[in-house]
Every structure is written in C-alpha cells, then in structure tokens.
Amino acid sequence: MIALRLLARGLTRPALTLLGASTIFLVGCRTTPVVPTSAVLVQPTVENQPVPVAAPTATTAVATTPTPASFTTANTTITQADWVNDPYARRKSVMDGKWRKGEALLQGYLGVSSVQDFAVSGSNGQVEAGTGSISQYPVIGGGAQWKLAGERVDFGIEGLMSIGGRANGGAFYVGGGGAAIAVSLDMLIVDFYGGPFVSLPLGKSARLYGSLGPMVQFISYHQSGGPVGTNGSSSGFGIGGYARTGFEIEMAPGSYIGIGVRWFDSKVDLSSTFGDLDMQSVEAMLTFSVMG
C-alpha cells in the first residue's frame, strides 16, 4: 500500500509539469498566428492600389450676405463690381439717388471777383477803383452744405469761407481839389459767410441751388503812391450780406462739378485815417463738390 502511494506521487509531479507546459503552448498558438516561412510579404504600389482620397472634414458654415449680380434703382443700375468696390455706389443704392437728411455736401471753388463798387472814404480824401486793376482779384474758397429737410427739394444750411486779394492793384485817389492821382493798393480779403440754401435736383445727375445770408469780412489794406500823408497800412473787420447760386453735374456717384456766382455787399472800418471801405463785388467760380 505504501509502495502504491509513492508510485502515484512520483507519477503525479511529472504529469502536472507536462500538463502546464502543454497549456502554455496551446495559448501561445491561439494568440500568435504562425506565418509560413514560404510566404513573402509584398508592399502594394501606387499602380496596384487606388490613390487614397482624404476624407472630407467637417467645417463650420459661415453666414455671408449674398452679393447681388446687379440691380436697378429708380435712377441707376449698379453692377456687382460697383457694389463691392465702390462705397458711393452702395450708398446710392440705399439712398436711391437722394441726398439724405443730416448729410453734408463738401464744396470747394476757384474763381475771380469783379468789383462793382469800391470806395475808401477817409478824412484825407477818397480812393476809388475806377478802371484800375484792383477792380478784379482771384479768390479761393470752400465749405459745406448740410441738408436738414426735403424730399423732392432739399433744404438746409451752409457755411463757407473765401480768401482773395491783390498786390500792386491800381486805383485812384481823389483829393479835395477833385484831381485824381493813381495809387497802388495791396489787399487781403477774407470772407466768412453762411445761411439757408435750397437745392433742386434736375433729372438724375444735376442740381440747381441758391442761398443767401450774412457775412463777416476781414481786410488788410496798404496804400502807397498817393500824396504825402495819405499812404499807410491798416486792417479791420466789417459785416455785410451775400447771395449766391450755382449749377452742378454729377461726374461720379457723390461727386459734382459746376459753376457758380456770388454777390456780396460789405462795409469795413479800416481806421480813422482811411475811414470806411465800402465794396460790392460779383464772383464767378468753378465749383467741386463731394458727399461727406
């Protein structure tokens, strides 16, 4: 009996060892396939395989405002290129060719002033323009018109200034005896003026306007060549009034060119020696305007 137990114990240990080794081998065979030594792995080429196409990626849609190819307003047809590149075209489509309330029209001009009446009356005599060269002088100016009301006709207020003058301008000094003596005048004339205006559209691309109001004038005056005691320099401010009108044609959306005329009457106190300078003049001008 003892002999049988020893024999069984001796046989059991080798058997368990063999069973464990067999289990490990079987598990390894199931998890790792055996590649035959005769198999050759071939790398696929581009010719044998289709070129892979990248899968589309998700993008976030951006909301954009569609640009119209073209559209027609009451006054003009605006193309897509005008809409994208020209801010005035976009504004005109919104305005439908009209001048909006509160919007400013900036205006500049070049011109010449033709003196109709010129007299410096002082204690020592009087200076008159007559046919002398002081009767004309160049001017440059500018300002703005602001629309306040109106649909078919525009109403608003304007404010402008101008600078003009003449060097070595000819005039005549008339003394107590009535004799006229040629004198030379140097003058710088600065005007500040403004008032209500009305603008009437003419068709699709033109307008006619008019305005009037008060004026403040500054003059720097120098006289030479007269009798002893009548020459010298002085300056002063004065007041007056003006009226003007003009006609403009639209050359591009919001840009105008035209002609204008301004009349004014002023009186400036120069000094006790020269007295008052009374002047009336008519200015002819070439105007350039743009929507501000």
Q: How confident is the model at residue 292, as a pLDDT? A: 77
Work out the pLDDT band at 275, boundaries 50, 70, 90: confident
Say what percent of the chain tops pLDDT 90: 40
pTM above 0.75, yes or no: no
CB atoms closer than 10 angstroms to residue 148: 13
How far apart are alpha carbons 103 and 89 in whole angstroms?
A: 16
Q: Let me know the angle formed at the C-alpha of 102 by 100 and 105, rounded to the nearest 5 degrees.
A: 75
Residue 90 lies inside a defined structural domain of this protein: no
pLDDT of residue 2 exceeding 80:
no
- CB-neighbour burial class of residue 229 (10 A; exposed 0-12, middle 13-18, buried 19+): exposed
Burial call 89-102: b when 16+ CB within 10 Å, e when fewer: beebbebeebbeee
The more confidently predicted of residues 243 and 40 is: 243
Q: Which of 149, 147, 150, 222 is nearest to 189 (CA)?
A: 222
Residue 200 lies inside a defined structural domain of this protein: yes
How far apart are alpha carbons 255 and 251 in whole angstroms?
A: 6
Summarised one tens digit per residue, pLDDT across range 176-205 is 667 788 888 999 999 999 999 999 999 888
Query: First and final CA of the chain: distance in angstroms?
Result: 125
Work out the pLDDT band at 134, boundaries 50, 70, 90: confident
Average pLDDT over residues 272-290: 92
Residue 10 lies inside a defined structural domain of this protein: no
Residue 252 lies inside a defined structural domain of this protein: yes
Are 191 and 217 a contacting pair, CB within 8 Å?
A: yes
Are 196 and 211 a contacting pair, CB within 8 Å?
A: yes
User: What residues contact residue 129 under an 8 Å CB cut-off, 6+ apart?
Assistant: 115, 118, 119, 135, 171, 172
Q: How confident is the model at residue 152, as a pLDDT? A: 86
Give the domain extent around 209: 101-291
Summarised one tens digit per residue, pLDDT across range 64-99 is 555 555 555 545 555 656 555 555 554 443 344 568
- C-alpha separations of 282 from 36, 92, 108, 116, 200 in Å: 113, 35, 17, 7, 23
Average pLDDT over residues 34-50: 49
Residue 8 lies inside a defined structural domain of this protein: no
Burial call 279-288: b when 16+ CB within 10 Å, e when fewer: bebebebebb
| Residue-averaged pLDDT of the chain | 77
Residue 186 lies inside a defined structural domain of this protein: yes
How far apart are alpha carbons 175 and 43 in whole angstroms?
A: 119
pLDDT of residue 38 exceeding 70:
no
Residue 114 lies inside a defined structural domain of this protein: yes
Tally of domains within the chain? 1
**What CATH number does residue 159 fall under?**
2.40.160.20
Residue 64 lies inside a defined structural domain of this protein: no
Q: How confident is the model at residue 95, as a pLDDT? A: 40
